[in-house]
């Protein structure tokens, strides 16, 4: 399926136009944004895998392989460029498992197993929750629940240590849910610190960060949906994860901006005049809710309209430039835990924030899937 992006016009498929844009902007040079091992590499390439499955276009799979092969040698050893020193840096390992699934090349299995072993000595809080990275003593970020568990659930499904991987993934989800829930809203704060007295952003009594941040909550929505897609029906924690997901979906439905279809940077404070709608988190929520519908966890009668509004909300923040490439507006790039509402709201917006581009690809790929599958290459 060829792209049809013309400056100023909507493409036939936003997912395809976005993938084509990413490939053109990352032609394979050391200066490419996707060149180094990173969470956004894994996040972006997972979107390419979805698109490859829907369209059958081999170029998308070839792009994944071309992006990942420099990080594993002929014996299956990870190269020195791969540093497994944070949950963020574990995320891309998901695609090593994907490469093994689709090629059965033992190099990828060996590489993925090295990543799996990083969890054996990874630092934890007293209740077992993973630190976001070893330098952030006692800090559990909602982002990290996604980053680490996206690897574990796929490794357990396709390579081994199935019981450990599923138990650990659901354990991390449950630990954050216990600490991070905001009242009865179904929504979750950005982070929690076991030692708030040593953490600048933490409430001294609760250890919680100040706000419910859109993109952070989006990471959590994604890992809930993706975990439930592979978690066995008889797993002991499945009902708990389903409940967390369904309550979160309800909270998202209540906080969606009725005017734009998007969600606010601080999700539950849309009534504040300086708040603004964030394209990145909005794309994540759109994907997660549609995924929940696909999995039979959310009723289409309750949530199909939420997805439709979300989809149209995010494509309203996409434009085709003079070269026929997609630009994504109104999102932040690399935002960490902030100390207060003002810092979240005033954090600099960036055109083509890396997380927003990947999230936009995920959301458009799942919403457009029926049309993409009809045009699948045979």
Can 12 be counted among the known catalytic residues?
A: no
Give the strand pairing for 318-320 and 191-193: unpaired
Q: Give φ, ψ of 274 to 5 degrees.
A: -95, -5
The third-level CATH classification (topology) of the domain covering 14-374 is Glycosyltransferase (1.50.10)
Tokens of 276: 């603004």
- For the segment 150-193, what is each residue's pLDDT rounded down to a tens digit? 999 999 999 999 999 999 999 999 999 999 999 999 999 999 99
Cα dihedral: 204, 207, 210, 212 (round 10): -170
What is the residue-wise DSSP string for 192-238? EES-GGG-TTS-TTT-B-S--BHHHHHHHHHHHHHHHHHS-TT-TTH
Domain boundaries, the chain: 14-374
- At 251 the three-state DSSP class reads helix
Mean pLDDT of all residues belonging to the chain: 96
DSSP letters spanning 89-153: GGTTHHHHHHHHHHH--HHHHHHHHHHHHGGGG--B-TTSPBPSSTTSTTEEEHHHHHHHHHHHH
Q: What is the distance between the alpha carbons of residues 297 and 362, in angstroms, rounded to a whole number? A: 19
* Average pLDDT over every residue of 35-44: 97
* Catalytic residue, candidates 57, 143, 278, 330: 143
Q: Has this prediction a pTM greater than 0.85?
A: yes
Residue range 10-21, pLDDT digits in tens: 899 999 999 999
| Nearest one of 94, 22, 16 to 56, comparing CA atoms | 16
- Identify the pLDDT of residue 7: 61
């Amino acid at each position: 399926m060829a792209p049809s992006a013309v400056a100023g016009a909507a493409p036939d498929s936003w997912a395809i136009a976005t993938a084509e844009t990413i490939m053109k902007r990352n032609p394979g040079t050391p200066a490419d944004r996707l060149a180094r091992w990173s969470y956004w590499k894994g996040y972006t390439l997972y979107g390419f895998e979805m698109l490859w499955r829907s369209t059958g276009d081999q170029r998308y799979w070839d792009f994944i392989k071309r992006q990942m092969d420099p990080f594993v040698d002929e014996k299956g050893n990870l190269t020195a460029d791969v540093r497994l020193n944070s949950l963020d840096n574990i995320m891309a390992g998901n695609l090593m498992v994907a490469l093994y699934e689709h090629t059965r090349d033992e190099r990828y299995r060996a590489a993925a197993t090295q990543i799996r072993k990083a969890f054996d000595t990874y630092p934890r809080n007293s209740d077992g929750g993973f630190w976001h990275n070893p330098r952030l003593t006692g800090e559990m970020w909602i982002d990290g629940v996604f980053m680490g568990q996206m690897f574990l659930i796929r490794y357990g499904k396709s390579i081994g240590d199935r019981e450990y991987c599923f138990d650990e993934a659901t354990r991390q989800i449950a630990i954050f849910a216990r600490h991070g829930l905001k009242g009865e809203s179904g929504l979750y704060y950005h982070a929690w610190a076991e030692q708030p007295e040593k953490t600048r952003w933490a409430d001294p009594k609760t250890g919680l960060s100040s706000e419910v941040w859109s993109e952070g909550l989006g990471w959590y929505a994604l890992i809930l949906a993706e975990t439930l897609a592979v978690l066995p029906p008889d797993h002991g924690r499945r009902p708990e994860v389903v409940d967390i997901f369904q309550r979160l979906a309800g909270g998202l439905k209540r906080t969606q901006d009725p005017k734009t279809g998007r969600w606010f940077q601080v999700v539950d404070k849309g009534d504040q005049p300086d708040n603004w709608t964030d394209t990145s988190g909005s794309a994540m929520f759109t994907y997660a809710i549609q995924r929940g519908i696909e999995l039979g966890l959310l009723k289409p009668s309750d949530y199909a309209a939420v997805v439709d509004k979300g989809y149209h909300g995010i494509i309203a923040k996409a434009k085709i430039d003079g070269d026929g490439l997609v630009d994504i507006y109104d999102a932040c790039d690399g935002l960490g835990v902030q100390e207060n509402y003002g810092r979240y709201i005033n954090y600099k917006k960036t055109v083509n924030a890396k997380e927003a581009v990947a999230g936009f690809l995920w959301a458009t790929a799942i919403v457009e899937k029926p049309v993409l599958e009809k045009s699948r290459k045979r």
